[in-house]
């Protein structure tokens, strides 16, 4: 049976067909749909873990118990999972373990553009890279086979364009894989002599997989009529190369991107006049070719920054581009903004009004940096706001403590914020943390998390009590406020900043995009009272616009949150 399938959905299908039993993940664009789609198969237990480190440890524990397992994450999530990753590589596996990581060239929803192939090399873990949905399914199944044959975890590297594009997939049936019996082996305890012996085994495994790379159909030479140039490529870059150069080109496509073959590359290079390496981001293939004595052209002409496209490759190589569809009118820029009625808007308006230094974090609330709010100073990674604010106040002392806060979402807080606030409570900087509790993981598409009381499938689950947790780690000052009540929000902020001890403000109001959240009727404008002063525009709500001498409300966007009503001194905004 054939089906048009999203790349991520194809990976999920591959996990299903391979007999995977457990998937533990943390949502992160562009990887999220893999786990969401896999959860539709009742044969696979799927869960959202608090973070990627936990997810990998859960998946690994499942393989220790004898069943095939996987975990999924985006590229920056692999940073979080790196600690267990390196040691699991040494330890090896018996049941198959596949780690799906989705990179984001172009940074469409990420704070950096790192290349996960570096992790494969550093952790000495084989990596497969599909270039379409069919390969996404096939490579996932092959990853489990290789994992068990070579006793190693396998990295399956996706990227935004493969994850979120669709192509035809031929689906198969599920393979029911018997559980492997657990056998106690103290050599798995990674310490001193055991670890040293394990490193020898890893190097032997790498040599064996390098030999495998020479013959596997994962790496294939496609020899065309034109031998004036040969292109070595992988992943989505392969698709662009085929669009630019056509069927006559000679191409070496690397589906196993680490370890890479040696003789196969040399053989390919010997059959063409010159070699071009086309790869997104880092010169991984290029550097390998040069190390084995193959002269190539690479990053001299192919950019290292931003995602590639067939047009970009054509321009870099001076080749004719396919004609683009011309638009009659120029499309105006549409910067991202928080949704109309977003509960974070009142928080950031209050922070901006009070001229606070705001140490931000990762989530949809990062949009608080956008004008007119301009209410975020920096962000780093998941959870860094809490520990970062602690360091900021260590440097500034009383000068900064009364004017600085950290903001962090509920899901991000559970992911990595708890240890940061523990450091604050333990070492007692006068720091104020604002936990933005919108009852969901909003940025990646409304996934449940440990604070919502529901699991991945929407079933009842354990629920973290944020207030109790904050008190348990040592905070005496913990309060909950409604962020849509601007007076209450302002009062809470001023009081906690003035306090002579660490404090937590939990702003609790559900994401307005949740279907179950009731919406009030849109507000109206009393044209006799509105003088177009634009005070209400300072909150940056997309439902509000200034039309001549009065404000206009978009009834299709306004959800009646009434935050703008609190801004108006003339009572011109009415229910």
144-167 residue pLDDT tens: 999 999 999 999 999 999 999 999
Across the range 489-503, mean pLDDT stands at 96
Across the range 515-541, mean pLDDT stands at 91
pLDDT score of 415 more than 90: yes
Q: Dihedral through CA 530, CA 534, CA 540, CA 542, nearest 10?
A: 40
Q: What does the DSSP 8-state code read for residue 273?
A: S
pLDDT score of 326 more than 80: no
- The whole-angstrom separation of Cα 542 and Cα 359 is 25
Residues paired with 297 in a beta bridge: 276
Tokens 């992911």 sit on residue: 415
Across the range 200-210, mean pLDDT stands at 97
- Domains of the chain by range and CATH? 2-180+189-214 (3.40.50.970), 219-317 (3.40.50.920), 344-508 (3.40.50.970), 524-574 (3.30.70.20)
pLDDT score of 323 more than 90: no
- The whole-angstrom separation of Cα 344 and Cα 24 is 29
User: Average pLDDT of the chain?
Assistant: 94
Give 334's pLDDT tier (boundaries 50, 70, 90): confident
Q: Are 162 and 101 in contact (CB under 8 A)?
A: no
Cα 332 to Cα 161, 216, 336: the distances in Å are 25, 49, 13
Tokens 């709500």 sit on residue: 541
- The whole-angstrom separation of Cα 433 and Cα 234 is 44
- The whole-angstrom separation of Cα 67 and Cα 452 is 29
- The whole-angstrom separation of Cα 523 and Cα 553 is 7
Backbone angles phi, psi at 89, to 5 degrees: -60, -45
Q: 62-97: per-residue pLDDT in tens?
A: 999 999 999 999 999 999 999 999 999 999 999 999
- The candidate with the shortest Cα–Cα distance to 234, out of 194, 168, 288, is 288
pLDDT score of 124 more than 80: yes
Q: Dihedral through CA 60, CA 62, CA 66, CA 69, nearest 10?
A: -80
Q: 216-225: per-residue pLDDT in tens?
A: 999 999 999 9
Entry pTM: 0.92
pLDDT at 321: 82
Residue 67, number of CB atoms within 10 A of its CB: 18
Q: Count Cβ atoms within 10 A of the Cβ of residue 174 and give its class: 0-12 exposed, 13-18 middle, 19 or more buried.
A: middle
Residue 395, number of CB atoms within 10 A of its CB: 8
pLDDT at 7: 97
Cα 82 to Cα 73, 325, 447: the distances in Å are 12, 44, 23
Give 331's pLDDT tier (boundaries 50, 70, 90): confident
Q: Put residue 124 in one of left, alpha, beta given phi > 0 → left and psi -120 to 50 → alpha.
A: left
Q: What is the largest CA-CA distance in the chain?
A: 83
Q: Are 259 and 120 in contact (CB under 8 A)?
A: no
pLDDT at 129: 98
The bridge status of strand 45-48 relative to strand 22-25 is parallel
């Amino acid at each position: 049976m054939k089906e048009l399938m999203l790349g991520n959905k194809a990976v999920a299908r591959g996990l299903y067909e391979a007999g995977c039993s457990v998937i533990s993940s943390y949502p992160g664009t562009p990887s999220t749909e893999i786990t969401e789609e896999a959860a539709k198969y009742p044969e696979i237990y799927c869960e959202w873990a608090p973070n990627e480190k936990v997810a990998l440890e859960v998946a690994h524990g499942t393989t220790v118990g004898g069943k095939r397992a996987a975990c999924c994450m985006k590229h920056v999530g692999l940073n979080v999972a790196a600690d267990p990753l390196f040691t699991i590589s040494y330890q090896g596996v018996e049941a198959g373990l596949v780690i799906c990581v989705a990179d984001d060239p172009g940074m469409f929803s990420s704070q950096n553009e790192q290349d996960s192939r570096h992790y494969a090399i550093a952790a000495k873990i084989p990596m497969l890279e599909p270039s379409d949905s069919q390969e996404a399914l096939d490579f996932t199944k092959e990853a489990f086979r290789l994992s068990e044959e070579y006793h190693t975890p396998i990295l399956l590297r996706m990227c935004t364009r493969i994850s979120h594009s669709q192509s035809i997939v031929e689906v198969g049936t599920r393979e029911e894989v018997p559980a492997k019996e657990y056998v106690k082996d103290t050599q798995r305890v990674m310490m001193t002599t055991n670890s040293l012996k394990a490193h020898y085994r890893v190097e032997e495994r790498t040599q064996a997989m390098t030999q495998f790379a020479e013959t596997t159909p994962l790496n294939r030479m496609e020899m065309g009529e034109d031998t004036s140039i040969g292109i070595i490529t992988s992943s989505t870059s392969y698709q662009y190369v085929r669009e630019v150069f056509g069927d006559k080109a000679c191409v070496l496509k690397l589906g196993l991107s680490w370890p890479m073959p040696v003789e196969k590359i040399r053989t390919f290079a010997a059959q063409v006049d010159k070699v071009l390496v086309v790869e997104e981001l880092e010169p991984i293939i290029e550097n390998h070719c040069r190390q084995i004595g193959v002269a190539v052209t690479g990053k001299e002409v192919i950019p290292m920054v931003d995602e590639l496209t067939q047009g970009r490759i054509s321009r870099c190589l001076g080749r004719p581009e396919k004609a683009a569809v011309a638009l009659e009118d120029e499309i105006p820029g549409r910067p991202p903004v928080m949704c109309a009625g977003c509960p974070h808007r009142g928080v950031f308006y209050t922070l901006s009004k009070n001229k606070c230094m705001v140490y931000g974090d990762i989530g949809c609330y990062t949009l608080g940096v956008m004008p007119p709010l301009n209410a975020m100073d920096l962000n780093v990674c998941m959870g860094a706001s809490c520990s970062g604010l602690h360091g900021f106040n260590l440097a500034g002392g009383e000068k900064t403590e009364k004017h600085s806060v950290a903001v962090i979402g509920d899901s991000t807080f559970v992911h990595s914020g708890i240890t940061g606030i523990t450091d604050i409570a333990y070492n007692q900087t006068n720091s104020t943390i604002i936990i933005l509790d919108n009852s969901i993981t909003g940025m990646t598409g409304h996934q449940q998390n440990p604070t919502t009381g529901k699991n991945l499938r929407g079933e009842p689950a354990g629920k973290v009590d944020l207030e109790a947790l904050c008190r348990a780690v040592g905070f005496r000052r913990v309060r909950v406020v409604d962020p849509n009540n601007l007076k209450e929000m302002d009062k809470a902020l001023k009081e906690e900043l003035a306090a002579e001890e660490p404090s937590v403000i939990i702003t609790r109001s559900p994401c307005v995009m949740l279907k179950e959240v009731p919406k009030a009727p849109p507000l109206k404008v009393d044209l006799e009272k509105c003088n177009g002063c634009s005070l209400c525009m300072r909150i940056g709500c997309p439902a509000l616009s200034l039309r001549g001498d009065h404000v206009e409300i978009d009834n299709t966007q306004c959800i009646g949150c009434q935050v703008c009503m609190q801004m108006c001194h003339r009572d011109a905004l009415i229910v």
